[in-house]
Structure 1
């Protein structure tokens, strides 16, 4: 049974995949709900989300340089903390990103065909599943084309928006409109940051595909930081333009804030182009998600944390069965989800817990493996837990239920393996990782 992957991606291709994983999630989906929560304090929410992303990115980059394998924090958790924490990280990633994938399918469908978004989303999902099964180079090429088009259109929008006078001076409103001493203000900022973090979380795809990146010890840290930095800069510029040209109330009230911004610029007649760009950006995120989730499923299946058949790869070195199975689950979610916001909240829950394990794992690394100060990993861990606690109760309830179901599944699976192997005089618990054993 083949389960090997090939190192075919360059550092630049890894950056492109990171960008493709983040642009659609942030630019076209989270500005409105985040502005509704944070108001004029939205830049603070963005800064907090970017800081958490950077702290988590340092942990992932440091670990990926040491363990350049498919699976990301699932692998790191097993190696540094043990089998159960590793499974927890992998399961949180799979369920969180599967929710993200369903949300992006709905976003693409809403932008292209508002009357039939679910059908369109499913059609896009089917096409992308085929592309993902053709190999990582096809995925990287398609992502590069998508990212180039999205950045071109957003660049045109930014340039024309700066031609407009600022209808709402930011400094005046931030100092005069925000009650900084109010607990509710900071709760809104925290919840806005949790949603904005969803827009950054795509850089995890770089680490989860570490087994397919050339010279991973240098390329993964560099690609992670470059992609986070570029996206943070783009989000900051768009946040400034949306607030100063429209105001937070108008941003929060619009389903498509960027289209509303275009309405007051020389872009006023290109709503169709913006809709297509939004759908294209969401499509890029979907393609990167399919690649990242399937690699984590493969890694978990290698260690019997998921059925071992899911570790099989094709002659193109692609975990096609894992990809198709993930797409099938997403299709069910697309048909049953009540709202995109529910998927975003649940996704943030899973991904923040996933990064909590990454930060814990990075804290266990010895000095010779360390690239960044431990304080960054402590800050990342505490920030992840704080953002999880700030999520809406519905997202917390759904997330906890599904995480608990995954833990029960592994408990039963380990028990069944123990029963089978005891009869053969073997030890059962899956190997937790060399570093965890040596600790």
Structure 2
């Protein structure tokens, strides 16, 4: 197998400034975002009272992915995440497939998060607000990853405070009823799997820590510690929120809710919390958008270094030590998409791409030798199977559109290789 890339040998390095707390916060900012405000209702529509079972299943798959990603990130502490792992462990094709899945899927997620900000902040003018949010957060990322970590820390603190208020208001109200947690009474296997796929979307941000592998101090120590901590905190928060909302609304009312957390606090008799939840949702979406732009630009950097994308995008700013051209391009593409399209329907497509991205990560982790930090073989096996099952139980339109776009990326890669061989 290939030896780990030598970060010191790269022509333009990123600066290692992030410790364990910063890496954990960036992971939390990516996971505890708009997903928890939006994913509960569609998950309840899919699984009914099996929502909590779907959440547990999503958490198991996320844990396996996190464990595989942590071992690989410690072995390959450079920007790019599973693009690098697939390339080094499985071959160039799999690395390109993973990178393409991540960049395209997460770019769609960026636009969706920006539009979510707009819909909460100024309904009717969501496109204008979305573009402004993208421009502002691209500027934050451009001036250095430490400032991004600082902003993310503030966002996480606000969102956790709002979610804590929702949980307390729901559980201490007279309308809370534990009988509404009768998990599985009206659930089907297909519904639970689809709910797990939808809820997995809200967990997927721990990859952001791995894609920042070139910017953390002592990556072999920092990354394996940061990823499980961030995932564990997120699981606890999601479980508390899901249980409290179910106890107040029940699966049927939750499935019909357009803003489930707002409706839960209203049903609990805490109307004063409704605007607070609305602000929290907007802040959460901003936090997700910040982390998404950060991660997509780093994967773009890694692919540009290997000339799978234009090599000019591999430039690192001499002062701020960030991939500034990649960040500007990603910001521009997301801004245009947010201004011209409604990408909420693309969440399923994004989930499809992200699950395939992690499937490659688990397959890569399977190839690690014991002296390379290989996890227990059951971990990548369960992670790989789980990713594929959840991906292909998503709505058919998401599976079809995702397959078409990924096939396009593979075709471009094949043409590029053929042209290079002729040259």
* TM-score class, shorter: over 0.9
Aligned to 2:122: 113
Return the offset for 1:414: 2.3
Q: Distance in 1 between matches of 2:94 and 2:359?
A: 10
Matches within 5 A, 1:161-172: 161-165=170-174, 167-170=176-179
Aligned to 1:317: 321
SS of structure 2 residue aligned to 1:178: coil
Assess if the C-alpha contact under 8 Å between 1:3 and 1:319 holds in 2.
Answer: no
Structure 1, 363-372 or 158-167: larger mean CA deviation = 158-167
SS of structure 2 residue aligned to 1:174: coil
Matches within 5 A, 1:102-141: 102-141=111-150
Q: Which runs of 5+ in 2 are unaligned?
A: 1-9
Matches within 5 A, 1:167-246: 167-170=176-179, 173-174=182-183, 177-178=185-186, 185-246=188-249
Corresponding residue to 1:270 among 265, 268, 273:
273
SS of structure 1 residue aligned to 2:272: coil
Assess if the C-alpha contact under 8 Å between 1:102 and 1:343 holds in 2.
Answer: no
Deviating runs (4+, > 4 A) in structure 1?
none
Aligned pairs, number: 413
Aligned to 2:6: none
Assess if the C-alpha contact under 8 Å between 2:130 and 2:339 holds in 1.
Answer: no
- Give a deviation string over 1:43-73, Cα, whole Å, max 9, x none: 0000000000000001000101111110000
Return the offset for 1:231: 0.5
Q: Which runs of 5+ in 1 are unaligned?
A: 180-184, 421-439
Aligned to 2:12: 3
Assess if the C-alpha contact under 8 Å between 2:180 and 2:250 holds in 1.
Answer: no
Aligned to 1:249: 252
Aligned to 1:426: none
SS of structure 2 residue aligned to 1:7: coil
Q: 1:79 to 1:156 in 2, by over 3 A?
A: same
Q: Distance in 2 between matches of 1:255 and 1:28?
A: 10
Assess if the C-alpha contact under 8 Å between 1:29 and 1:107 holds in 2.
Answer: no
Return the offset for 1:115: 1.3
Return the offset for 1:196: 0.2
SS of structure 2 residue aligned to 1:8: coil
Return the offset for 1:369: 1.5
Q: Given the two structures, how large is their TM-score scaled by the length of structure 2? A: 0.94
Matches within 5 A, 1:2-401: 3-165=12-174, 167-170=176-179, 173-174=182-183, 177-178=185-186, 185-265=188-268, 267-315=270-318, 316-340=320-344, 342-401=345-404
Assess if the C-alpha contact under 8 Å between 2:81 and 2:211 holds in 1.
Answer: yes
Q: Distance in 2 between matches of 1:173 and 1:75?
A: 44
Aligned to 1:182: none
